[in-house]
């Protein structure tokens, strides 16, 4: 019997940096059990070039990325979502569409690396830090015994992942 593949949507306002990083990490490292997607409430129309550079340097396939609207995931032809995570504070405050299948949701806010206004080295450092934080959270999520947790326990775990900094976020 094949193991269930869970569909996970990462939301950010612009869908150019954090949500793209999250989609890539989930698919690259845990694609045997999860299918990651990303979208934005007001997509910028292009993926941030530093996000692409950082992911490429880490061996991720970036050929399929594009900045897209969350509307793509709310229609009748959208994939049934199991989880939806907001990764920026703006998106967590917006009224989201009605998701098909009533997925489990949580907020995993991470500072916006695209907002760093400094040297190229400072910008890369911000994207690398966002990658490490997101990877730590996604690794914790992927390690949860999803089939063994009741809905309340699972919701608590998902919320907990997004509300504290883990030491591994600093060391990845």
- Region class of 102: left (phi > 0), else alpha (psi between -120 and 50), else beta: left
Among 88, 110, 138, 158, which one carries the catalytic annotation? 88
- Tell me if residue 115 is catalytic: no
- Tell me if residue 47 is catalytic: no
**Placement of tokens 């509300």 in the chain:** 163
CA 70 to chain centre: 13
For residue 8, list its beta bridge partners: 36, 83
Among 8, 9, 12, 55, which one carries the catalytic annotation? 12
Q: What is the DSSP letter of 28?
A: H
- Tell me if residue 12 is catalytic: yes
**CA 18 – CA 130 distance, rounded (Å):** 7
Residue 70 phi/psi, 5° resolution? -65, -15
Among 58, 96, 140, 149, which one carries the catalytic annotation? 96
User: Which residues are designated catalytic?
Assistant: 12, 88, 96
């Amino acid at each position: 019997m094949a193991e269930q593949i869970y569909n996970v949507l990462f939301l950010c306002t612009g869908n150019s940096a954090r949500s793209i990083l999250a989609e890539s990490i989930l698919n690259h490292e845990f694609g045997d059990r999860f299918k990651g997607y990303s979208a934005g409430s007001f997509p910028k129309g292009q993926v941030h070039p530093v996000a692409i550079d950082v992911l490429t340097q880490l061996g991720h396939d970036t050929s399929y990325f594009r900045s897209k609207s969350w509307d793509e995931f709310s229609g009748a032809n959208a994939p049934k979502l199991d989880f939806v995570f907001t990764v920026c504070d703006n998106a967590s405050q917006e009224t989201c569409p009605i998701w098909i299948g009533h997925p489990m949701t949580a907020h995993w806010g991470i500072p916006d690396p695209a907002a760093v206004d400094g040297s190229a080295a400072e910008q890369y450092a911000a994207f690398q830090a966002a990658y490490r934080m997101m990877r730590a959270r996604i690794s914790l999520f992927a390690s949860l015994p999803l089939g063994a947790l009741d809905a309340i326990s699972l919701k608590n775990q998902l919320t907990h992942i997004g509300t504290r900094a883990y030491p591994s976020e600093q060391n990845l």
